[in-house]
Amino acid sequence: MLVNMKGKDVICTQELSVQEINALLKLAKEMKADRYGDKYNQLIKDQTFLMFFFNPSLRTRISFESAATELGGHAQFLEPKTMRLKKTSGGVEVQAGETIEDAAQVLARYACGMGIRILETSVENYGDGNALLREYAKWMDVPIINMADDKYHPCQGLSDVMGMQEHKGDLKGKTILMTWAHGALARSYCSVHENLLITSRLGMNVKLAYPKGYDLPEEEIAKVKVNCEANGTKFEIINDPDVGYTNDVEFVYSRNWFGPDFYKIGKEAEIARASKMTDWICTQERMDHTNNALYIHPMPVDRGKEVTDEVASGPNSIIVNIAENRLHTQKAIMAMTIAGMKVEI
């Protein structure tokens, strides 16, 4: 089957077909194996990819800039404060002036595609960031790539799975434990949602552990349940910090995320609450109860809170490999959606 994604937006992996996900992963692995090969280094020659950052980043900015360069193009960094954009109905604070409709159509004439990063601290309500991203996608006739919004992070989800496959092969029937962890950063849902969605989509059993009061949005959990039902796999919710670490678990993902009332109580109150639940941390003692599980995390890691150094820096940690894969999955996305590269699966 030949997969063609030319012109397609990548906002959430749940909106891609399994064939498209597999094609992106296949191409990313090939690009990683032949990173500077002539086959790929002119795919967007002399073209500009725009990167619109409402929130700062280390891995996202550098990996996208490197991806554009290695494909023969150029990435340009944009910030809201440098653009005369009108405040949106979604509550994003930007300067008064031009509408998204007008700005998006002009930007599309300049660039081959655009990435947008807009997290919870840049919006008033859950979902506003994702809504803004989709508004740009509505008016731009070049691909929009989600560089992390307040709901989804498709590039991270693809990179997680790529790393997991590199170390364990086919993921069907394998089990992942996604567990909440205490911390001082009040983290977003986006990376957690994407991992749950893409792993369940690709046929994994999913265990989700968190303390009471840290439920994830029901609409996303419903999608995970449907994915598992379609694949005949298991989905389990656990409210205990120990119970999820069992001998069938082959991957552990420990991550802090804020509670459903975050937008009401604010960041400082959330941090104060989460920091008290010190039992929720990934330790080597807990990992020893698994099937020699690999440790994954989207980074940056809140060491000593989400996970101990012994685990994060241990032989079963693949967090740096996954971070590297951001470059390769993003090159694959740009190659297929912008350059129109077709992939046989």
pLDDT reported for residue 89: 46
Q: How is residue 304 annotated by DSSP?
A: T
Decide which of 91 and 59 is more confident.
59
Indicate if the pLDDT at residue 70 is higher than 80: yes
As beta bridge partners, residue 116 has 52, 146
What are the tens digits of pLDDT across the range 164-200? Answer: 999 999 999 999 999 999 999 999 999 999 999 999 9
What token pair was written down for 87?
């405040």
Exposed, middle or buried by CB within 10 Å (0-12, 13-18, 19+), for 117? buried
Q: Using alpha carbons only, give the angle 289, 290, 295 rounded to the nearest 5 degrees.
A: 120
Model pLDDT, residue 156: 98
Q: pLDDT at residue 92 above 80?
A: no
Residue 93 pLDDT: 45
Residue range 211-256, pLDDT digits in tens = 999 999 999 999 999 999 999 999 999 999 999 999 999 999 999 9
Whether 321 and 23 have beta carbons less than 8 Å apart is answered as no
**pLDDT score of 99:** 86
Task: Confirm if 209 and 257 have CB atoms less than 8 A apart.
Answer: no
**SS3 state at 72:** coil
84 pLDDT band (50/70/90 cuts)?
A: low
DSSP class per residue in 110-162: H-SEEEEEE-GGG-SSTTHHHHHHHHHHHH-SS-EEEEEESS--HHHHHHHHH
Q: pLDDT band at 83, cuts 50/70/90?
A: low
Say which DSSP state 81 is in: G
What would the mean pLDDT of 255-261 be, rounded to a whole number? 96
Q: How many angstroms separate the CA atoms of 226 and 151, rounded?
A: 18
List 118's β-bridge partners, or say none: 149
Domains of the chain (ranges, CATH numbers): 2-153+326-339 (3.40.50.1370), 155-322 (3.40.50.1370)
Q: 256: which DSSP letter?
A: -
